[in-house]
Amino acid sequence: MQSRAVGLVARISAGGWFEAYDLFMTSYIALGLYREKLFSPLGQGPAGFATFVGAGFAGMFAGTMLFGWVSDRFGRRATFAWSLIFYSLTTLFMSLSGSALAIDIWRLLAGVGIGVQIITIDAYVSEIAPAADRGRLIALSQAVTFTAVPVVAFLAAWLVPLDLHLGAAMVPGWRVVAAIGAAGALVAWQLRRGLPESDIWERSRFISTAAVSPIAEIFAPALRVRTVMLVAFNVLQTFGYYGFTSWVTTLLYQEHIEFVHSLEYTAIIALANPFGPIVAMFFADRVERKWQIAALAIVIAIAGLAFGAARSPVAIVMWGIAIALSINWFSSAFHAYQAELYPTRIRAQGVGFVYSFGRLSAIGVGYAVAAVTRGFGTQGVFVMIAAAMIVVGLIVAALGPRTNRQELDTIAP
């Protein structure tokens, strides 16, 4: 891999680190929200945990669906920095809020910024990466980003059970965990300095699109099948990915595993998160991406069922690590894949459009998990997740085009 490209990807991914911290924090601060009696695991209305989870994903839906054009219009570099500042500040305000409704509102706004940054980073990295190394560089980006997951998990395991003395005030530990994630606003401009704009994006600014709207182009004959495939993919993979990552601590807690032990188990499992993308780096450009995604979807389904049936600490941690490894390898592959399938002039909008359906689906995932848990227990949740992931694998295997080692303009002219 070219050293310059590696350095740029690492710099962009340092910004993505805060996005991952903020996104995955949801699961790890859950028990703190329950402890302060702001939210309940299976409750409804503003104080239900499903509403808190759904608020973040509703914001991400708005960010990806309504604001994907920002990156295509104003460039990857500026959008990367401003979205980082926006969601960092809104997360800080969330950590200071005193009611469930206020927390939900600030979480919604943070989700908007996170959604914009996710699609901007995918487009940015795919455009600066040479074709032969694109899969590995996106996997590298994910590996750097996912080091945030064990950090927030261990901070939560340490701080969430505590009330901290800050001056004269007693501050619940989950608020400190959330406030730490807001540090991205302090480093955003430093990260932006020295980052070049995407050459491919710069060239695309001078290409006439004959007044064709981005949505019309997304559904043009050449892109229609892949768009429909990616919409279905994003709706269903959300059940597997966020059904696990956003709810794992709560699901363990619902199985009557002690408060502290639930945090400890999930912190140990979180250590595996960066290693999924590291494994992906080895296979990224050697094995066709569509087949990686299809196979990993089946692996996640099997590991999820085993995790749901596990009762001993060793089995819980072992199968949890298996899910963390496979689900983050899967994430590396599909983030690379969907960014490859649209032309540069509408890449962020195309990815934002299909990705937004996953965020919309994720709003319902929280309520589905809560409802299935009430009716069928945690094992029912993992059956639901497994079924969704099996269908994901079949859809990509049947409809996904091949992309490995091809120039972006060849895959999507």
* Per-residue pLDDT, 169: 82
**What CA–CA distances, in Å, run from 147 to 237, 245, 278?**
22, 15, 11
Tens-digit pLDDT profile for residues 153-164: 999 999 999 888
Contact 117, 13 (CB under 8 A): no
Q: Which residues form the domain of 124?
A: 3-411
Give the residue ranges of the chain where pLDDT is below 50.
Answer: 208
Tens-digit pLDDT profile for residues 278-313: 999 988 888 999 999 999 999 999 998 898 888 888
* Per-residue pLDDT, 266: 80
Host H or E run for residue 352: helix 347-399
* Per-residue pLDDT, 50: 87
**What global pTM score does this model have?**
0.79
The pair phi, psi for residue 234, each rounded to 5°, is: -70, -35
> How many structural domains compose the chain?
1
* Per-residue pLDDT, 130: 85
Q: Return the bridge partners of 165, or none.
A: 170
**What CA–CA distances, in Å, run from 8 to 57, 88, 129, 348?**
29, 22, 9, 19
Contact 170, 41 (CB under 8 A): no
CATH number at residue 47: 1.20.1250.20
The Cα 119–Cα 234 span in angstroms is 13
The Cα 26–Cα 316 span in angstroms is 20
